[in-house]
Amino acid sequence: METNQVKDEITQTLDHLFVEQADNIENAVRSLKVIAHPVRLKILCVLKDSECTVQALEKYVGVAQATLSQHLSLLKDRGILVSSREGHYSVYRLANEKIADLFEMVRYMYCS
């Protein structure tokens, strides 16, 4: 009887993970794919500690403003970044602290 109970618990756990969480899994995949780009990782590196203007990001990341704007737009559309206006400047920052934690884990794993 205990074996059936264990199987039922495993089935419930898997149902929760793969059925009830299907949308969350899909969102995670889309977000991780968009992060997996050298320019976007540089953007996250700059923004992990503070917000930054597009002009400053252009300088730090080393790409033209048009290219940078495309990357920023994609990161914003995926909910990774948020922006605000300060006068004539657009200022970007991470959407939440969990993204900074994820970036730190990647940096720890792959950067010496």
- Tokens (6 digits) for 53: 């203007």
- C-alpha torsion sign, points 64, 70, 74, 79: positive
State the Cα–Cα distance between residues 90 and 11, nearest whole angstrom. 48
User: What radius of gyration, in Å, describes the C-alpha atoms of the chain?
Assistant: 19
Could you tell me which of 90, 8, 75 has the C-alpha nearest to residue 40? 75
Exposed, middle or buried: residue 46 (CB in 10 Å: 0-12, 13-18, 19+)?
middle
pLDDT digit string (tens) for 9-65?
887 777 777 777 778 888 888 888 998 999 999 999 899 889 999 999 999 999 999
Q: Report the predicted TM-score, pTM, of the whole model to 2 decimal places.
A: 0.77
State the Cα–Cα distance between residues 15 and 48, nearest whole angstrom. 35
pLDDT digit string (tens) for 69-100?
999 999 999 999 999 999 999 999 999 888 88
